[in-house]
Structure 1
Amino acid sequence: MYIGKAARLSGTTVKSIRHYEDIGLLPPPRREGRYRVYSQQSVEFLMLIKCAQQMGFKLRELRTMLDGHHGDAFPWELAKQAIASKKAELGAQIDALQAQRDGLDAFARTLDAARQECPLEYLAGPAERPRGQR
């Protein structure tokens, strides 16, 4: 199949396919004259790339994982290691975001306490102050 059909079937674009070939992520297809001809295996590989990107993998990471492993020899162990590494990275990001959320909750409690202890007109913005104090 030609590049347009491969793009449609894989849910990607012609431009993306050409980019993947340029950076060495996708092996060059066979050619019929000046036309690129893709196999069903190429389409499945393009779908794998798209899925991996949706799960947070960068093309650079995929290229490192798949470097030198084109054709039938898919690097299953490297893929499992990359997934485990990505999960650990996401766990660290989740922990950092949770800490940030906890910090915001503490900050909000501090502001609420300050508002209780200070006069209303001191903390109130111009729209909230009584008319004579603007």
Structure 2
Amino acid sequence: MYIGQAAQRSGTTIKSIRHYESIGLLPAAQRLGKYRVYDQHSVELLIFIKCAQQLGFRLKELQAIFAGHKGPQMPWDLARQVIAVKKQEIGERIAALSLQHSQLVEFEASLEQARVDCPLNSL
């Protein structure tokens, strides 16, 4: 299939496909004359890349998954490792945000108490 059809099937854009090829996320497509020709494996990789980006992966992180990968199969073991690392990072951010939220609640309560205790309120 040509690049337009690959873009349509994967839910991405022609520009994105060209970019992914240029940075090594997607193997260079076969050529039929001057046209790029993609197979189902390429579409599956594009879908994977799009889903991963929607889940917060940056292209550099995805490049780590695909670095040196030339085979027809997805590097699932490496993908699982990278996903585990991403989950750990998210867990740490959740914990930090939860602590920040608790501190804001305490700070807000202390401000309210300071307002109530303020001697100027009795004037």
TM range, smaller chain = over 0.9
Name the structure 2 match of 1:81. Answer: 81
Q: Check conservation: 2:12, 2:46, Cα contact below 8 A.
A: yes
Q: How many Å apart are 1:92 and its aligned residue?
A: 0.4
Name the structure 2 match of 1:90. Answer: 90
The AA in structure 1 aligned to 2:47 is M
Structure 2 counterpart SS, 1:31? strand
Q: How many Å apart are 1:19 and its aligned residue?
A: 0.3
Q: How many Å apart are 1:71 and its aligned residue?
A: 2.8
TM-score (ref. length: structure 1): 0.86
Answer yes or no: is 1:68 the counterpart of 2:75: no
Answer yes or no: is 1:37 the counterpart of 2:37: yes
Q: Check conservation: 2:9, 2:43, Cα contact below 8 A.
A: yes
Q: Which structure ranks higher in relative contact order (CA pairs < 8 Å, sequence separation ≥ 6)?
A: 2
% identical aligned pairs: 56
Q: How many Å apart are 1:73 and its aligned residue?
A: 3.7
Name the structure 1 match of 2:46. Answer: 46
Supply the distance in 2 between the matched residues of 1:27 and 1:53 (Cα, whole angstroms): 18
Supply the distance in 2 between the matched residues of 1:120 and 1:103 (Cα, whole angstroms): 26
The C-alpha deviation readout for 1:14-70, integer Å capped at 9, x for no partner, is 110000000011000101111001111111110000001111111111111111113
Q: Which runs of 5+ in 1 are unaligned?
A: 123-134
The AA in structure 2 aligned to 1:40 is Q
Q: Which range moves more in the overlay, 44-53 or 64-73?
A: 64-73
Change (3 A) 1:115 1:39: same
- Higher Cα radius of gyration: 1
The AA in structure 2 aligned to 1:44 is E
The AA in structure 1 aligned to 2:49 is I
The AA in structure 2 aligned to 1:63 is Q
Q: How large is the Cα RMSD of the aligned pairs?
A: 1.5
Supply the distance in 1 between the matched residues of 2:110 and 2:60 (Cα, whole angstroms): 44
Runs of 4+ in 1 over 6 A off after TM superposition: none
Supply the distance in 2 between the matched residues of 1:121 and 1:18 (Cα, whole angstroms): 70
Supply the distance in 2 between the matched residues of 1:36 and 1:22 (Cα, whole angstroms): 13
Q: How many Å apart are 1:121 and its aligned residue?
A: 8.8
Name the structure 1 match of 2:21. Answer: 21
